[in-house]
Structure 1
Amino acid sequence: MASQDRLRFGVDLVTFFHPGFWGVGSEDDVIAYAQAEPEPFWRKLLDSVQQAGVTGVELTFSPFGWEHACATFGSVDAFAGELSARGLQLASGFFAGLEADGDPNDPAVQPAIIEKVSAYADFIAACGGDIMVVGTPLRHSPDIFPARFFDRAAAEKLADLLNRLGAITAEKGVRLALHTEAHSLFANGRDVDLLMLMTDPAYVHMCPDTAHLILAGADPLQVIDRHHERMIIAHWKDALGAMPADTPIGADIHQRHRPYFCGFGSGRVDWPAFMRLLRNRNYEGWAILELDAAADPVTDIANGLKLARQALLPIFR
């Protein structure tokens, strides 16, 4: 199988969240524009993905999510048609509900999470995809006392829910993959190892994000190699280095990640070694290029794709 068939390139739509791309002043204005003019919003978004040269789309939080897409075009089939008309496919859908919807270990919260995951999996399958990427809850801030530990007992509770969610999506033909989000419960090497140990590999897979692993102080190549058999999709992203270990974790943590991210090839990720690892472990699947809220997303993604094809794919072969 040729390398271009074994690796398929896509983009996470968070890349298009920069207000400048939409000609507005803030991210709130982007959301307001998407609500006021949904069809122009989605058509520009999908046209831009096509222009960047990738073939896969990873949906994410609103307004870049599945519910808004379906409401805009009227049905799953209509949205799938918009993708197909541009030569695009649904690579995956990102689910952020474990962080956003309250304590997932609370039995009162879990039914709503299960319902949302089930509906999302139905959409992904109907749209021709087969992967749901899931973010885990954030860690508790290290400056909060009394301390709350992510120990074996806490991991068992979260792993139980993840196993059940993975079984629900699997029944619908969709695989669930945990995303290595910095400052979440699945980012530093120890936490990734713990949840990989506690979850069932038949139902819970992995989506490593190279940049977020670096922000968490982990070596992405070591983490990926330890769990390569669980990797079914990967986020390709570069970072300048680790954030301080005592970084406070609050509602703005995702915004504070952004100064640490950088363009492809200009950060700490050893991309040639990464490609050798994928080659040696016989990886096949989606490579999701991503930048958080890029000012010029089409150019940035096109340049990342050019780097991958010219400098990295020859290694992969």
Structure 2
Amino acid sequence: MTPRFATDIITFYHPDFWGLDSADAVRDRALAHPVAFWERVMEAMAESGVTGIELTFAPGDIGSVLRAFGSASAFRRELADRGLSVVSAFVADSDAPDWRDDGGLPAIVADAERRAAFLAEAGADLLVAGLPMRQTFGARPPFFVDADYMKRMADVAHAVGEAVTRHGVKLALHTESNSTLWYERDIDLFMALTDPQYVWLCPDSCHIALGGGDPVAVARRHAPRIALAHWKDAVGPIDTHLIIDETVYAQQQPYMTELGTGIVDWPGWAEAMSRTPGADTVLIELDEAPDPVAALRTGTAVARASLGNCF
């Protein structure tokens, strides 16, 4: 089996790719001209040889697709005409319901069902979500990621996972830096508390490494439940307590790097991935690449070399 290569839409968010001077300018242009935005992205994907896309926060979100093409099925046809397809959608919108809201479960489930219906119509079967962020270390009152907290998150994941299965979609949880699903212990605890028939895992090799963990060990332990993985490299563990606010993702950036230039054991990761249900997709994640075509070609070359005889 030869896996398909995919990427996150964030790969195409760098202002240099659009000849603009800021991320805000990129968002503004995409909002004003959604068809042109997606045509440029699809052209770059086809040129890079990557055929799958993961949607996430604006400007490459579900709302943008609907503004540009009117429906998920129309978007699916546009992609298919170029040999492309939707792989997944990541729940990363700032206005997405908060899993910590004790009374918010109906809204959380309804939001997930809406996304799952879109994915099914677009020809995809995977909804990716993250657990809420941690609190800045030392803040008062303290917030503990303990068994009680994880049980609440597991209850929400079960409700969401069951709801989206009715659309033929799986729910997979992503291991985001500084979130409550970051450290190896977080991942093991959450997976132990959730039903494998309804809750899947989307490990991110970079983010696990940034938390001081071993991405390969995590992948091997949880291989039967990995529906998709984000292939991304890290320069080393985050060596300080970051301020967890709206700037935290920018603070993480210096610890991330292109595939093959960091500390991730790519042959080990590739071997572990080959044993998972998500083995048929290799999602190369490159946040805001100035030249996404070149970066994706480099990333896929590293992945192909690492996969070797795994398949």
TM-score, normalised by the number of residues in structure 1? 0.94
How many Å separate the matches in 2 of 1:287 and 1:27? 27
How many Å separate the matches in 1 of 2:109 and 2:64? 20
Of 40, 43, 54 in structure 2, the residue corresponding to residue 44 of structure 1 is 40
Q: Which residue of 1 aligns with 2:133?
A: 138
How many Å separate the matches in 1 of 2:204 and 2:244? 19
Q: Which residue of 2 aligns with 1:316?
A: 310
Give the CA deviation at 1:143. Answer: 2.4
Please list every run of 5 or more consecutive structure 1 residues that lacks an aligned counterpart in the other structure: none
Q: Which residue of 2 aligns with 1:29?
A: 25
Q: Does 1:185 align with 2:196?
A: no
Letter of the 1:216 partner, please give it: G
- The percent of aligned pairs where both chains have the same amino acid is 38
How many Å separate the matches in 2 of 1:68 and 1:204? 27
1:275–1:315 CA contact under 8 A, matched in 2 = no
Q: Which residue of 1 aligns with 2:249?
A: 254
What pairs up with 1:68-83 in 2 under 5 angstroms?
68-83=64-79
How many Å separate the matches in 1 of 2:63 and 2:276? 36
Give the CA deviation at 1:280. Answer: 5.4
Give the CA deviation at 1:112. Answer: 2.5
Of 221, 232, 240 in structure 1, the residue corresponding to residue 235 of structure 2 is 240
Q: Which residue of 1 aligns with 2:265?
A: 270
Give the CA deviation at 1:312. Answer: 2.1
How many Å separate the matches in 2 of 1:210 and 1:100? 27
SS of 2:259 mapped into structure 1: coil
How many Å separate the matches in 1 of 2:245 and 2:165? 33
How many Å separate the matches in 1 of 2:276 and 2:44? 33
Give the CA deviation at 1:267. Answer: 0.3
2:157–2:199 CA contact under 8 A, matched in 1 = yes
How many Å separate the matches in 1 of 2:75 and 2:275? 37
Per-residue Cα deviation, 1:174-205 (whole angstroms, up to 9, x for no partner): 00000011111111101101110111111000
SS of 2:58 mapped into structure 1: coil
Q: Which residue of 2 aligns with 1:110?
A: 105
Q: Does 1:10 align with 2:35?
A: no
Per-residue Cα deviation, 1:70-112 (whole angstroms, up to 9, x for no partner): 1211111211111101101111111125x75464232333332
Letter of the 1:73 partner, please give it: F
Of 218, 224, 238 in structure 2, the residue corresponding to residue 223 of structure 1 is 218
Give the CA deviation at 1:62. Answer: 1.1
Letter of the 1:79 partner, please give it: F
Of 285, 290, 306 in structure 1, the residue corresponding to residue 285 of structure 2 is 290
Give the paired residue count: 311
Letter of the 1:316 partner, please give it: C
2:223–2:272 CA contact under 8 A, matched in 1 = no
How many Å separate the matches in 1 of 2:138 and 2:97? 21
Q: Does 1:205 align with 2:216?
A: no
* Superposition CA RMSD, Å: 1.6
Q: 1:102 to 1:140 in 2, by over 3 A?
A: farther
Q: Which residue of 2 aligns with 1:62?
A: 58
How many Å separate the matches in 2 of 1:134 and 1:259? 24
Please list every run of 5 or more consecutive structure 2 residues that lacks an aligned counterpart in the other structure: none
Letter of the 1:112 partner, please give it: A
Letter of the 2:205 partner, please give it: T
Q: 1:116 to 1:280 in 2, by over 3 A?
A: closer
How many Å separate the matches in 2 of 1:234 and 1:103? 23
TM-score, normalised by the number of residues in structure 2? 0.95
Letter of the 1:21 partner, please give it: F
